[in-house]
Amino acid sequence: MTEEKIDLKTVKHVAALARIEMSEAELEQYGTQLNAILGYVDKLQELDTSNVAPMAHVTATATPMREDHRKEGLGERVLSNAPQREERFFKVPQVIE
């Protein structure tokens, strides 16, 4: 049997922080499961990963990129509805004194 890293007191504390009510049997069950997870993580720590490149994702696929296409802007159509304009710009009241 592996060493328990999470005791019943810690499981109760985490359950209280999460505002989850648990019976004693549930607390013991979750404590056992959490300790099994930590045991698995400890086992993974034993692996030699010195030749493994760090990755941001599980798979090493690149993000697909689309080709950019230039489109005509809205231009005069937008400015035609402006209450005030100056040349090709909207004219708005000054907000900084």
pLDDT in tens, 19-61: 999 999 999 999 999 999 999 999 988 999 899 888 877 777 7
Q: Which amino acid is at 50?
A: S
**pLDDT score for 2:** 53
Number of H helices, E strands in the chain: 3, 2
Residue 52 and residue 23 in contact, taking contact as beta carbons nearer than 8 Å: no
Which of the two residues, 5 and 26, has the higher pLDDT score?
26
Residues 33, 77: Cα–Cα separation, whole Å:
64
Name the residue ranges covered by the structural domains of the chain: 8-45
Residues β-bridged to residue 90: 85
What class, spelled out in words, does domain 8-45 have in CATH? mainly alpha
Q: Specify the higher pLDDT residue, 64 or 35.
A: 35
